[in-house]
Amino acid sequence: MLQPIIQNTYLVEVNLPTVTQGQNYPFLDNPNLRYPKIFLHGMESLIDVQLSKSPNQSDIVTASGAAGIVLTLSVKDTEEVFQIPYLSLCTTVNAGLIREFANKQINLTKSYITVFDVTNLVAGQSAAFNFYYKIA
């Protein structure tokens, strides 16, 4: 199966300063990915075996910790991708396949991750994503 043709990628992290069950952790504003500048056509979540530290020197979540995280992506004000499991987007556990989206014009600052299970998550760790996008 052919993979998508990637036009642009960007590594984005969401830091977990504290780990609380049920807590939402929003994405920070990013000028490169600001709404309505980009169309998201694919996404990949990262675990520690893929990237050991984030650009801000935080540890990346482990596979066992990531099992307790879900992702919500907003398009404008609507949560169009609601609570997709973090590991569903992880290529190392999905035969290398990138999860593709139908060119969603995402609103990053209204998108967030949610911790459902704090087991094996440590305060200070980061969740990291590769955004595959086209410029609008």
SS3 47: coil
**Nearest distance in Å: CB 53, another protein:** 4
Dmax (CA) for the chain in angstroms is: 40
Q: In terms of CB distance, is 97 or 122 closer to another protein?
A: 97
SS3 29: coil
Q: In terms of CB distance, is 6 or 123 closer to another protein?
A: 6
Q: In terms of CB distance, is 10 or 82 closer to another protein?
A: 10
**Nearest distance in Å: CB 23, another protein:** 25
Q: Which of residues 104-133 bind another protein (CB under 8 A)?
A: 130
Give the Cα separation of 33 and 44 in Å (integer): 15
The correct pick among 92, 103, 114, 120 for binding another protein (CB under 8 A) is 92
> CA 116, 118, 124, 130 torsion: positive or negative?
negative
CB atoms within 10 A of CB 40: 22
Q: In terms of CB distance, is 48 or 79 closer to another protein?
A: 48
SS3 119: coil
CB 87 within 8 A of CB 129: no
The correct pick among 17, 36, 53, 83 for binding another protein (CB under 8 A) is 53
The correct pick among 24, 29, 88, 97 for binding another protein (CB under 8 A) is 97
Strand partners, 74: 79
Binding site residues, another protein, CB under 8 A: 1-11, 32, 44, 46, 48-55, 57, 91-92, 94-98, 130
